[in-house]
Structure 1
Amino acid sequence: MSATLLILADEAENKAIFMENNLNQNQANQSETNNNPGQEQEYRAAASKFINETSLDKMHEIAEAARIKKMMEPPKWVMPEDL
């Protein structure tokens, strides 16, 4: 696998983690502040900025790189605790 593809996969994973953390933080903040409209607007602005600045082809590349990286990971086994 090329180094560029690995870099794109890392970049996609970092963006996904960042966006998930922002979403979780916004949901927590909304429950604490009873739907503060300022925070929702900030999230919408950040999402709009990403969508407007990132081409659809680039989004496809990021998604494909993340998918390939995920497929290359070894399976994660969940073992039940001893009964």
Structure 2
Amino acid sequence: MNPADINCAEACVNGCVLGDQCPNLEYRAQASQFIASTSLDDMLAIAEEAVRKKTLERVSEAPQWVFPEDGI
């Protein structure tokens, strides 16, 4: 298999199909290290902070009005 021909998001749902040829080995190792060294409480805190930031971004944006093509 040619790594360039594989869509990892679809082909590797049940595990990597490329093995040692995987172009994402570095990221897989980083993710494994993060999971092993970070407590679940810390992961939840990171996720909560990300949601809070996203919510603040949405609230601070000006509203976008969408009008129907045939008028109001």
The structure whose Rg is larger is: 2
Richer in helix (by share): 1
TM-score normalised per structure 1 = 0.43
